[in-house]
Amino acid sequence: MTNNSYFPEGSELERFVKRRRQKGVIWRSLFLLATTLGVIILMVLLLSIIDDSLGYAAVQYKIDPHEMVVGFYQDMALNASNARAFDDADELARALGEHPDAVGLLDEATFRAHADDLRAVSIEDGELPGVVVAVSQQNDWLQSVTMQELAPLFTIAETWSDVREGWPETPVHRYLPPAGSPVLTTFIAGVYGDDPAQQPVEALLAMLAQHLSPGALRQFVAEKPLDQRTQEEALGILAERVLEPTVIETWSLSQSILHKDEIEAAMAQTPDAELEFRRWVTWDFITSPQSSKPELAGVRTAIIGSLWVVLITLLFSVPVGIGAAVYLEEYGSGSRLDQFIENNINNLAGVPSIIYGMLGLAVFVRALEPLTSGSMFGLADPTTANGRTILAAGLTLGLLILPIIIINAREAIRAVPRAFREASYGLGATKWQTIWHHVLPNAIPGILTGSILAISRAFGETAPLVVVGASTAIFVDPNGPFSKFTTLPIQIYQWTSRPQAAFQNLAAAAIIVLLALLLALNAVAILLRNKYQRSY
Amino acid sequence: MADQSSSNGHYAIEAKNLNVFYGDFHAVKDVNLTVEKNKITALIGPSGCGKSTVLRCFNRMNDLIPVARIQGDVLFHGKNIYDPDVDPVQVRRRIGMVFQKPNPFPKSIYDNVAWGAKINGFKGDLDELVRTSLEGAALWDEVKDKLDANGYSLSGGQQQRLCIARALAVRPDIILMDEPTSALDPIASLRIEELMIQLAEQYTIIVVTHNMQQAARVSDYTAFFTVDEGRTGYLEEFAPTEELFTTPRSRITEDYITGRFG
Ligand SMILES: Nc1ncnc2c1ncn2[C@@H]1O[C@H](COP(=O)(O)OP(=O)(O)OP(=O)(O)O)[C@@H](O)[C@H]1O
Ligand SMILES: [Mg+2]
C-alpha cells in the first residue's frame, strides 16, 4: 500500500498547511476585531458618562459665598476694640503717623505720600498685593509679622502681647479703611480666605447665626448643639439655607477643557453667576435624599429603594429558582407536564420585561393588594395605601429573573459529575442525601454566579417598575417592604427627562453610582465563586 | 454451574435468568451466575459484552439509568432484590461499589470515609471507623497525618484505595468493582490486587477486569461473557478460575483467553 500517494507531499504539503494556517489567522483577526469593537464601545460609553459627571457649572447664589465670608470678617475687624474706620485715606495716614501703638491698612499710593511718618511692616510668609500694613515711624519694635499673626491682630487681639510674646502690653489700635473698600476686601481675602470651605467651624457657625432667621437657628441648635457640629454640617446648612446656590448652566468635562473661552464668554453675560468646577459624584450626592433642587438632590433614597427591592427579589427568586431547578433536574420524570413546564421556563426567559410589569401590576399590586400593601398584617404605610410597594416590585422582578435563575441552576446541577452521584448512591445514600450533600454543594458556584448575574439584571431594570408604580418623586427613605419606593434606574430615567441642566449631570453621576454598585455585585459573585470553587 | 442453582445460604448473591434491556436494545440475555461467599469472582469478556451491565444489576445501580430495564431475579440472602418491596437504598448499603475511575468526593479524606457511615446512621466511634476502614484499604499509613486534606490531593492509586476504604466503611457484604485498576499503573494495580485478596477474607468480591493475568492471579471464579450476532451479551462459561484458564470447555473462551479473539 502506498501511503503517500493519497496525501499531499513536498511543496504541495507546505502550501496546504499554509492555507490551513491562514484560515486560522483570518478567523483570529475577526475575533480580535469583534473584541476590540466591544471594548471601544464600552470605553466610549464610560467616557461619555464620566464626561457628563465632571465639568464647569455656572452657579448663582442668593448670597455670594465670598461676600458672606468677607462681610463676616469685615464686621469683626470694624467692631474690634480700638478699631477706627476712616473714609479718607490721608486722614488715616496722618492719624496713624501720630500713634505709636496703632497699626493701619493703606493703599500703596497713600503710603508713599506719607512715607515720612509711616513705615511698612513686612509680611514674612506672604504678600497682600496693593495693601500696605503700616505703623508710625515712632514705632520702633514692629518690623515684621506673619499671616497667622495678622488674623488676630485685626480682630480678637486686645493688646500687642496677645499677638506675639515680647511685644508691648499696650492695647492695639486699628486704623481701617471703610467697609467695602478694595484695600480691606483684599486684606481679608488674603488673610482669612474668602472660600467658606476654608473657614473653621466656629466661624461658619457664627456666619450661620448672622444670616439665619432666629427661628431657623433655634431649630438648627435643637437638632444638635452647636459645639457638636462638624465643619461639613455647618457648610451644608449654610449652602442650603443661606447661600442657596442655583446651577444655571453646566458644561461637560470635554467642553470645559476644549472650549474654556466659550464658557467664559457665556459667563460674561451673567455677571452675578460664578464659574465652579464640579465633580457631580460626591459623598454628599450619595448620602443626600432626593430633592427637587438639583443642587441639593442625592441618590440615597434611590439606593436604599434599590437595595430593598433587590433584597426582596433575591429572597423570592433564588430559593424558588433553585428549588425548581432541583425538581426539574433530579425529580422530573420527563413526563408531558414536566416537558411543558420546561419549555415554558425557557420561553419565559425571553419575554420582554414590560410584560412582567403588567403581570406584577395585575397580580401583586391589584389582586394581592392586602398582602403587598401590608394591610393584611396591619403594617400598611399610611402614605402609600395601595399595593405599589417595595414588596410588589421585588416580587415582580423576582418573577422576571426566576427563569434565568432556573436555567442557570439547572445548568450548574447538570454539570456536577455523574461519578459523585454514583459514588453517593453506591454507599446507600437516598436521592435527597445525594442531592443535598453532593449535587447542590458542587453546583453552588454555578448557581451563585447565575443568580448574581440575574440579580444584576434586576438591579438595572426600569420598565416593569414603572408599570408596577415606582414613585418618581419621593423624598423619604423607604423603611420596609411596604413602603413606596424609587430605584436608581428610575431616578436616572426621571432626571434625564428634567429640563434643568444640572439634572443631566446628576443623572450621569447616578449612572456612575449604579455602575459601581453593579460592579460590586459582580465582584461579590466572582469572590463567592472562587471561594466555593472546588478542584476535582 | 447448572447443578448449583438452588438458592441456599452458600451463595453471596445469585443471578437467575437475568436479562437487561437499554430501551429496545437487549444488552444481556439469560445470565445465570452464582457468587460464592468470601471468594473473588471475576467477570471477563470483550468490550461491550455487558460485564458492567451485569455488575451494576447486583446493587441496582442500573435503576439510575432511565432507559434500563431488568428481567429475571437477583437473589441476595434468598430474596430477589428486584422485588417491588425491596428498597434499592438498603441493597446498596449491603452491596458496595468501586468504580473504574477513582471518584472520591471533593471533601477531606476523613469525610470521604466517614460520610457513608454517617448517612447510614452509624452510632459508633467515627474516628475508629475511619482508621479501620483506611487500614482495611491499606491506605492508613500514607494518609494518617493528613486526614483533612482533600481526597483529590492523593495520587490515582491512593484515590482508588480511598474509594475502597469508603466502601468498606459501611461494612457491606459484597463489594462490586468495575475495572478498579484500569486507570492505574502496574505497581498501583498490584497493590489493589493484593488488597482484594486480603479483603476476600471478610468480603465477597465481584470484579470486572480486562486484564487476563489479573483475573488469573486474584480470582477464585471467572465468568466469561461474550456477544452473539445481535451484539447481545451472554454468559459463555463460568468456572473456577484455574479450570477456566487451563481447560476451558468452550472454544470461544479458549480463543479469548489465549488472545486469538477480542
Ligand atoms: N446507559 C446505556 N444506555 C444504552 N446502552 C447502554 C448503556 N450502557 C451500556 N449500554 C450498552 O450495553 C452494552 C453493554 O455495555 P457494558 O457497559 O455493560 O459493556 P462492558 O462489557 O462493561 O464493556 P467495557 O469492557 O467496554 O466496559 C453495550 O453495547 C453498550 O453500548
Ligand atoms: Mg464496563
* C-alpha of residue A124 to centroid of ligand 2, in Å: 96
With a 6 Å cutoff on the Cβ, whether B149 touches ligand 1 is: no
The residue of A333, A427, A536 whose CB has the most chain B CBs within 10 angstroms, and thus the best one to mutate to test that interface, is: A427
- Cell reading at A274: 460664578
Nearest CB among A334, A419, A426 relative to B61 is that of A426
With a 6 Å cutoff on the Cβ, whether B40 touches ligand 1 is: no
**pLDDT-above-70 percentage for chain A:** 97
* A29-43, A97-111, B175-189: range with highest mean pLDDT: A29-43
What backbone phi and psi angles, to 5 degrees, belong to A384? -100, -60
pLDDT score, position A281: 86
Give A40-85 pLDDT, tens digit per residue: 999 999 999 899 888 888 888 888 888 888 889 988 888 888 888 8
Give A199-210 pLDDT, tens digit per residue: 888 888 888 888
Domain membership of residue B262 (yes or no) is no
Rg for chain A, CA atoms, rounded: 36
**CB of B60 closer than 8 Å to CB of B81:** yes
* C-alpha of residue B71 to centroid of ligand 1, in Å: 17
Nearest CA to ligand 1 atom 22: B52
Closest residue on chain A to B113 (Cα): A427
Q: How many domains does chain B have?
A: 1
- Pocket test of ligand 1: the residue of B51, B56, B61, B99 to mutate, having most ligand atoms within 8 Å of its CB, is B51
Domain ranges of chain A: 65-191, 300-532
- Pocket test of ligand 1: the residue of B18, B21, B25, B69 to mutate, having most ligand atoms within 8 Å of its CB, is B25
- B132 vs A271, higher pLDDT: B132
Closest residue on chain B to A424 (Cα): B116
Give B86-107 pLDDT, tens digit per residue: 999 999 999 999 998 999 999 9
Give B107-127 pLDDT, tens digit per residue: 999 999 999 999 999 999 999
C-alpha closest to that of A446 among A325, A314, A313, A310: A325
Domain membership of residue B139 (yes or no) is yes
**CB of A121 closer than 8 Å to CB of A144:** yes
With a 6 Å cutoff on the Cβ, whether B52 touches ligand 1 is: yes
Nearest chain B Cα distance for residue A426, angstroms: 6
C-alpha closest to that of A229 among A203, A198, A194: A203
pLDDT beyond 50 at B1? no
Closest residue on chain B to A430 (Cα): B89
CB within 8 Å: A428 and B166:
no
Say how far apart CA A436 and CA A441 lie, in whole Å.
Answer: 7
**What integer is the mean pLDDT of A128-146?**
88
CB within 8 Å: A438 and B105:
yes
pLDDT beyond 60 at A240? yes
pLDDT beyond 80 at B3? no
What contacts B91, CB < 8 A, 6 or more positions away? B59, B60, B76, B81
**CB of B22 closer than 8 Å to CB of B67:** yes
Give, in words, the CATH class of A65-191: alpha beta
* Domain A300-532 = CATH 1.10.3720.10: yes
Q: Which of residues 79-138 of B touch A (CB under 8 A)?
A: 89-90, 92-94, 96-97, 99, 101, 103-106, 115-116, 119-120
**CB of A503 closer than 8 Å to CB of A473:** no
Task: Give the neighbor-by-neighbor strand order of the sheet with B25-36.
Answer: B79-80, B68-76, B11-22, B25-36, B233-240, B221-227, B40-44, B204-208, B174-178, B95-98
pLDDT score, position B30: 93
Say how far apart CA A316 and CA B20 lie, in whole Å.
Answer: 45
Closest ligand (CA of B69):
1
Predicted confidence band at A279 (pLDDT cuts at 50, 70, 90)? confident
Q: Return the ligand 1 atom nearest residue B208 CA.
A: 22
C-alpha closest to that of B235 among B81, B85, B88, B28: B28
Exposed/middle/buried for residue B17 (C-beta within 10 Å: 0-12, 13-18, 19+): exposed
Write out the residue range of the structural domain in which residue B23 sits.
Answer: 4-257
Nearest CB among A430, A438, A442 relative to B89 is that of A430
* C-alpha of residue B28 to centroid of ligand 1, in Å: 9
CB within 8 Å: B120 and A427:
yes
What contacts A99, CB < 8 A, 6 or more positions away? A136, A173, A175
Whichever domain contains B40, its CATH number is: 3.40.50.300
Say how far apart CA A512 and CA A42 lie, in whole Å.
Answer: 14
Interfacial residues of A (vs B; Cβ cutoff 8 Å): 334, 417, 419-430, 433, 437-438, 442, 534-536
Beta-carbon count within 10 A of B7 CB:
18
Torsion of the alpha carbons at A77, A82, A85 and A91, rounded to the nearest 10: -140
Q: Which ipTM value was assigned to this complex?
A: 0.91
Domain membership of residue B222 (yes or no) is yes
Domain membership of residue B190 (yes or no) is yes
